[in-house]
Amino acid sequence: MPEAYRSQFNAKNVRFSMRDHLMMIEVDNDYAQATITTHGASVLSYVPKNQPDGAQDLLWVSSSAVFNGQKAVRGGIPVCWPWFGKAKSAGLPAHGFVRNLVWHLDHVADLESGVTEVVLICDADEHTLAIWPHQFHLQLRIEIGEKLILSLTTTNLNDHDLEITEALHTYFNVADPRGLVIHGLEGSTHLDKLNEQAPAEIQQEPVMLHPPMDSVYLNQSGDVILDDSGHQRRILIENRQTTSAVVWNPGPEIVKGFDDIPDDGWLQFACVESGNVLNNAVIVPAEQKHTFSVMLSALPV
C-alpha cells in the first residue's frame, strides 16, 4: 500500500510506512514533524519545532495501543462522527463508526508556505449504511505547520436533513494531568458525566482537572488554553464552528478497565475535545455542507 501512494503523491516532506497493519503518513517539514494513520484518519503525533522545552509531542498515544486494525488507536486525535458518546441504538459503537474505518488518502501536498497538507476522505458504503442509513461524504483536511489545523467537513448527500454530533477526541501529552488548569470554558454549561444526578451548572472559573473526570461543556465558544507548565508551555486550542468541549481523564481506578492504557497511563495525558455534542447537535441541510476546525499550537509559559 505505501508503494502505491509513493507513486501517486510526490511530496518531498512526506513518506509512507506500515506499522503492524496500519499505514502511516509521516511528515517532516520546517515547522513540525507529524504522523497520521489512514485508519480512522487519526493524527497520532505532532511535534512543533519551535517549542520552549524542545521536541515534546503535543499528542499522547498509549504504549499499549494496538495497530492491528481491529479498533481505533488509543490516543492521538480520533474522529468521533456521526455521533459522540453512546449510540442511540443498542449494539452500535460509542463515538460513531468512522474512527475504525480505513479512510482514503485523497491529497498530499507541500504548499508554498512550507505547510504540508494532507486530505483524507470517507464515504458511505454497504457497511456504514447498515449502521447509519444515510449517504454522506466526510473529509478531514490536516495542515502541518506552525500550528496543527484539522478541518472536518460533512457533506449531506441525501434529500433530507441530517442531525449529527461530532468531536475531535484529542489526547494531549501533558507533564501531569493532576491540577491541570484549563482556561476558556468559563461561561459554558457544565455537565458532570460521572454524576448524572448533578445539575447542569454555569462554569464560573477556569477548570482544574482532578481525575477521574468526564465533563461536557455546552454552549462553549472561543479559544481554550491548557497550562502544561511541566513542559514549560501552554497548549492553545483555537476552535471554529464548535459549540462544545469535553474534558476527560479516567484516573487511577477507571483506567483499569482499558486494556489499551497502562494502569499508570492516566498520569500522562488529558483529553480536551472540541466539537458539537449532546444538545449542541448540528443539523446539516439536504445537499449542504458543514465544517468545523481546530487549530493546535504550543506557546511558551
Catalytic residues, which ones?
169, 273
As a whole number of angstroms, the distance between CA 245 and CA 278 comes to 11
Cβ-Cβ contacts under 8 Å for 177 (sequence gap 6 or more): 209, 211, 249, 266, 267, 268, 269, 270
Query: Across the strands, what pairs with 253?
Result: none
Instruction: Assess contact for 248 and 268: CB atoms under 8 A.
Output: no
Q: How many residues can be counted in the chain?
A: 301
- DSSP-derived letter for residue 280 is G
The three three-digit cell numbers of residue 147, written as one number: 500550528
Residues 273, 170: Cα–Cα separation, whole Å:
5
Residue 209's DSSP bridge partners are: none
Q: What are the cell numbers at 298?
A: 504550543
- Rounded to whole angstroms, how far apart are CA atoms 281 and 129? 21
In sequence order, the β-bridge partners of residue 248 are 214, 271
The long-range contacts involving 45-54, CB below 8 angstroms and separated by at least 24 positions, are 45/76, 46/144, 46/148, 46/296, 48/146, 48/148, 48/297, 48/298, 50/146, 50/298, 51/233, 51/298, 52/232, 52/233, 52/298, 52/300, 52/301, 53/231, 53/232, 53/233
